[in-house]
Structure 1
Amino acid sequence: MDPILVVGSVAVDEVVRLQAPLRIGSHNAGMDAGARIGGGAANTAMALARAGDSVSVVSAVGEDEAGALLLDQLARLGVDLALVDRHAGETTRSLIMLEEAGERTIVNRARAPVALPADLASRPASAFYVRSADPLLTEVIQERSKSCPVLAHVPPMTADFRPAQVLVASESDLDPAFLHDPWQGGRRIAGETLEWMVLTRGERGAAAFDGKQVIEVGAPNVSVIDSTGAGDVFAAGLLHGLARGYAMGQCLETAVSWGSASVGYEGTMPPHTFPA
């Protein structure tokens, strides 16, 4: 099977453990919990690799110690890094404020620009995932949709910006108008290419809309340790199914299973193999 291509960030997550729920506009007590691998592309790729999928990341890291460590961790999991650009700038960094209940708040501190390969639209792939807001990807998505399943993350919400077969978003990132009719909201972003609009709903699971039906999958009861990257792992589950030609119902069940499992461990590097 051709690799799954994942476009997005590979990052250093600097974690602060809060002693109480985050209070906006107030003083918050916390403890430094160190740094770990993160970023949307890395989180998704690691989950896919743990499931035995061939996966290639399109991203960038700096020519610094942090970048070298991130690439070493991904390589150890079997992620193909041939399309990761090394440049003289700083590696992407994010501050993760993690509450005792597992909820997280993310502050992006630095971002390494990703140079898109010239042949990205034509490289062999069993599925293609866009976790980047680069406007140059619009044409790539449009071309890729002719040859393999394309999953794109929203936001961004710009009209005709994501001409993919499947869009995925978190309910918490969307306004009431979009949630009133997710299918039409997705069509505005993807156009006629759209086949499914998928929404994650936290502890309520997820739902997929195709304009005629709604498929809903509930989430299992799990003990939440760390919700960081759960949406990225959910996307990995969708990609795992799309690459194999699964029906959306089975894709959604896989995605919910993987995303739910991910909140039960600390960090975003899976400690175990995800079920196929």
Structure 2
Amino acid sequence: MKPVLLVANLNCDHALSLQQALASGGRHQYQDSGRRLGGGAANTGLGLVWAGYKVELVTQLGSDATADWLLEQAQANQLSPYQLIRHPGAHGELLLLLEPNGERSIIRPQRPEFTLPSPPDFSRWGAVYFNSLAVNQRHWSEAALTQTQVVCQYIAHKSPSPCHYLIASASDLPEMAEDELWSFARQYAGEHLKGFVLTCGSKGAIWFDGNTQVCQPALACDVLDTTGAGDAFVGGFIHALLAEKNRQQILLEACQWACCALQTASSIPGDALRNHLKL
């Protein structure tokens, strides 16, 4: 099968486990859980590697020891850099504040603008996934539309990005009526949009195509850490999409991957997903 290209971040997640729920103005004690591989490139890509795909990355890293560690970790986990852009200075750690119920708050360092070079020939990949604030991403996604399957993550306040499949968290969208969602997605993703997938946390996910809806309830699981669950959902979505499953099957597989991530106390997916893929 063809490889998958991910345009996404590699992060060094530094996890701080709080003893109580985060509250504005509060005083909090924490246990330092150390640093770990994270970011959309790892959280989405690692499951795809375990599913048998060659996963290639387009990402930006700094020029410090943290960035070198990230690159080593990615390569050790069979995530292959396709285009690696290094900026001068520190890459920095992303702080994860983990509450006892598994919810997390993210504090990310400010980084230099990430500019993509001229787009490559996308026909060598079975799918390309964009989850990035990179400059020139629209040019890349437009070029990819006629050559491969294009999946994009909706990012609020970012310029539109043409794609075939748009995935968004309900918590990231502005308030609107349900019958406005498809037109909103089309404005963001363009006329080639085939499916708009809205993830709704504990309520599951909904697939819109302008005519019908397909709903998939969330799967019951014990939540240890919500970090990376949305990224894992996308990995399952891409896996089932490339396997030519129907919409209901695609949503079910994506929700299964997300459930596996929720049961894992890390940013990247763990043994729960490995075991699921063996079934």
Q: TM-score, normalised by structure 2?
A: 0.91
| Contact kept in structure 1, 2:4 and 2:54, CA below 8 Å | yes
Aligned residues: 275
Equivalent AA in structure 2 for residue 275 of structure 1: L
Stretches (4+) displaced over 4 A? none
Distance 1:105 1:121, change over 3 A: farther
Q: Show the 5 A alignment for 1:184-223.
A: 184-223=183-222
* Residue in structure 1 matched with residue 138 of structure 2 by the alignment: 138
* Residue in structure 2 matched with residue 275 of structure 1 by the alignment: 277
| Contact kept in structure 1, 2:227 and 2:262, CA below 8 Å | yes
Q: Which moved more, 1:232-241 or 1:88-97?
A: 88-97
- C-alpha deviation, 1:224, in angstroms: 0.3
* Residue in structure 1 matched with residue 239 of structure 2 by the alignment: 240
**Cα distance in 2, alignment partners of residues 179 and 32 from structure 1:** 42
| Contact kept in structure 1, 2:123 and 2:147, CA below 8 Å | no
- C-alpha deviation, 1:137, in angstroms: 0.8
Equivalent AA in structure 2 for residue 67 of structure 1: A
| Contact kept in structure 1, 2:113 and 2:135, CA below 8 Å | no
Q: Show the 5 A alignment for 1:1-276.
A: 1-111=1-111, 113-120=113-120, 122=122, 124-156=124-156, 161-177=160-176, 179=178, 181-272=180-271, 273=274, 274-275=276-277
**Cα distance in 2, alignment partners of residues 142 and 220 from structure 1:** 35
Equivalent AA in structure 2 for residue 42 of structure 1: A
**Cα distance in 1, alignment partners of residues 92 and 235 from structure 2:** 21
**Cα distance in 1, alignment partners of residues 26 and 89 from structure 2:** 34
**Cα distance in 2, alignment partners of residues 139 and 119 from structure 1:** 7
- C-alpha deviation, 1:179, in angstroms: 4.9
**Cα distance in 1, alignment partners of residues 114 and 244 from structure 2:** 29
Equivalent AA in structure 2 for residue 134 of structure 1: A
| Contact kept in structure 1, 2:116 and 2:135, CA below 8 Å | no
Q: What is the aligned-residue RMSD (CA, Å)?
A: 2.0
Equivalent AA in structure 2 for residue 132 of structure 1: S
**Cα distance in 2, alignment partners of residues 92 and 3 from structure 1:** 29
| Contact kept in structure 2, 1:37 and 1:268, CA below 8 Å | yes
| Contact kept in structure 2, 1:168 and 1:199, CA below 8 Å | yes
**Cα distance in 1, alignment partners of residues 95 and 178 from structure 2:** 29
**Cα distance in 2, alignment partners of residues 81 and 155 from structure 1:** 23
| Contact kept in structure 2, 1:89 and 1:112, CA below 8 Å | no
Q: Percent identity?
A: 31
Equivalent AA in structure 1 for residue 220 of structure 2: N
Q: SS of the residue aligned with 1:181?
A: helix
- C-alpha deviation, 1:68, in angstroms: 2.0
List gaps (5 residues or longer) in structure 2.
Answer: none
Equivalent AA in structure 1 for residue 201 of structure 2: G
